[in-house]
């Protein structure tokens, strides 16, 4: 039965992945996520049901638009498959439980951030606010008001630390080192993972971002790369690997 539900979670996740792609690429550009309906980027032909099946359509159409035969990017089916895998892993880790709902909400936020920050260097406030409310309501229902307030406190500490890192970076590089979106995103990562794990996610993200940053810097000085996607990847890895740094909080309160 677990295999059956794992496959179902993968399929549901891949459909959500397709939707997150639309949300992440349209919202920062102030476009509606409902209209216009999905269309080919090249010939603008409206896509029908069979063209829109996550992952499957790409292979069925041999990676080309059905109407203009323009090659489609491999990124879309890849992102849908990754979302499917993450949904499946969350199910395998948490089973059908409240923590599964919270984990899926958090992972969904981070996937939308990866798309929007990568494509437009913007993390829309609307996305952050909606997911902050969702996560707080879910944490409140599952653990009660005092735990919920504790998580808010972790979020505030995390974004405060991120603000200090940004101010130090601005001073060091004599220019804006980090966007405001990263500081707000850090509130949600701290809220979810606790502030020690949130700080670890920044270190981890910097480590992952270093190779692409160095390659881009060699090609073109002053090339800016968004930090949000790396921060999101680090937070997803920390969540799913079960690495928990929050024993530091206990050490500090003893
Ligand atoms: Zn086309």
d(CA 16, CA 109) in angstroms, rounded, equals: 11
Ligand 1 centre to CA of 12 (Å) is: 26
Ligand 1 centre to CA of 141 (Å) is: 46
Summarize the confidence of residues 17-28 as an average pLDDT: 92
Close Cβ partners of 217 (under 8 Å, ≥ 6 residues apart) = 223
Which residues lie at CB < 5 A from ion ligand 1? 40, 42-43, 65, 67-68
The predicted pLDDT at position 47 comes to: 87
Ligand 1 centre to CA of 79 (Å) is: 20
Let me know whether 141 and 180 are in one domain.
yes
pLDDT above 80 (res 71):
yes
Summarize the confidence of residues 43-60 as an average pLDDT: 88
Let me know whether 21 and 87 are in one domain.
yes
Ligand 1 centre to CA of 229 (Å) is: 29
Residue 67 lies in a domain: yes
pLDDT tens-digit readout, 154-182:
999 999 999 999 899 888 888 877 888 99
Ligand 1 centre to CA of 119 (Å) is: 21
Of all residues in the chain, what percent carry a pLDDT higher than 70? 98
pTM: 0.92
Residue 110 lies in a domain: no
Ligand 1 centre to CA of 56 (Å) is: 17
The predicted pLDDT at position 138 comes to: 95
Let me know whether 76 and 159 are in one domain.
no
Please say whether the beta carbons of 79 and 229 come within 8 A.
Answer: no
Let me know whether 84 and 126 are in one domain.
no
Let me know whether 245 and 128 are in one domain.
yes
Ligand 1 centre to CA of 45 (Å) is: 6
* Residue 162 structural domain: 122-254
pLDDT above 90 (res 39):
no
Ligand 1 centre to CA of 43 (Å) is: 4
Let me know whether 89 and 141 are in one domain.
no
pLDDT tens-digit readout, 91-116:
999 999 999 999 999 999 999 999 99
pLDDT tens-digit readout, 109-138:
999 999 999 999 999 999 999 999 999 999
The predicted pLDDT at position 222 comes to: 67
Distances (CA, A) of 108 to 80, 89, 135, 149: 12, 13, 11, 23
Summarize the confidence of residues 214-222 as an average pLDDT: 75
Let me know whether 244 and 133 are in one domain.
yes
Summarize the confidence of residues 16-30 as an average pLDDT: 92
Ligand 1 centre to CA of 76 (Å) is: 15
Let me know whether 86 and 126 are in one domain.
no
Let me know whether 136 and 235 are in one domain.
yes
- Which residue, of 96, 130, 155, is where some domain finishes? 96
Residue 113 lies in a domain: no
Ligand 1 centre to CA of 31 (Å) is: 21
Tokens read off for 50: 């069979």
β-bridge mates for residue 64, sequence order: 71
Please say whether the beta carbons of 192 and 138 come within 8 A.
Answer: no
The predicted pLDDT at position 97 comes to: 92
Residue 108 lies in a domain: no
Let me know whether 84 and 129 are in one domain.
no
Ligand 1 centre to CA of 49 (Å) is: 15
Number of domains composing the chain? 2
Let me know whether 48 and 165 are in one domain.
no
Let me know whether 157 and 232 are in one domain.
yes
The predicted pLDDT at position 12 comes to: 97
Summarize the confidence of residues 139-165 as an average pLDDT: 94
pLDDT above 70 (res 236):
yes
β-bridge mates for residue 131, sequence order: none
Close Cβ partners of 201 (under 8 Å, ≥ 6 residues apart) = 189, 193, 231, 234, 235, 238
């Amino acid at each position: 039965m677990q295999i059956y539900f794992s496959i179902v979670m993968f399929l549901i996740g891949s459909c959500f992945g397709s939707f997150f792609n639309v949300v992440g690429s349209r919202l920062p550009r102030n476009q509606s996520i409902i209209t216009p309906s999905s269309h080919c980027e090249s010939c603008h032909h409206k896509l029908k049901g069979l063209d829109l099946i996550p992952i499957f359509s790409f292979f069925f159409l041999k990676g080309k638009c059905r109407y203009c035969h323009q090659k489609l990017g491999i990124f879309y089916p890849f992102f849908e498959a990754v979302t499917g895998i993450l949904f499946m892993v969350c199910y395998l880790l948490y089973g059908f439980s409240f923590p599964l709902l919270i984990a899926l909400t958090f992972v969904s936020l981070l996937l939308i951030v990866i798309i929007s920050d990568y494509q437009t260097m913007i993390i829309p406030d609307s996305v952050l606010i909606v997911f902050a409310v969702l996560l707080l309501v879910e944490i409140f229902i599952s653990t009660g008001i005092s735990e919920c307030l504790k998580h808010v406190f972790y979020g505030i500490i995390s974004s405060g630390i991120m603000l200090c890192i940004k101010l130090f970076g601005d001073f060091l590089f004599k220019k804006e080192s980090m966007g405001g979106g990263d500081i707000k995103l850090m509130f949600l990562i701290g809220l979810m993972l606790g502030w020690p794990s949130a700080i670890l996610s920044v270190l981890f993200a910097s480590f992952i971002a270093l190779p692409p940053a160095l390659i881009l810097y060699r090609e073109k000085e002053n090339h800016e790369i968004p930090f949000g996607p790396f921060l999101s990847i680090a937070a997803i890895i920390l969540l799913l690997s079960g690495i928990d740094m929050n024993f530091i909080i206990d050490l500090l309160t003893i």
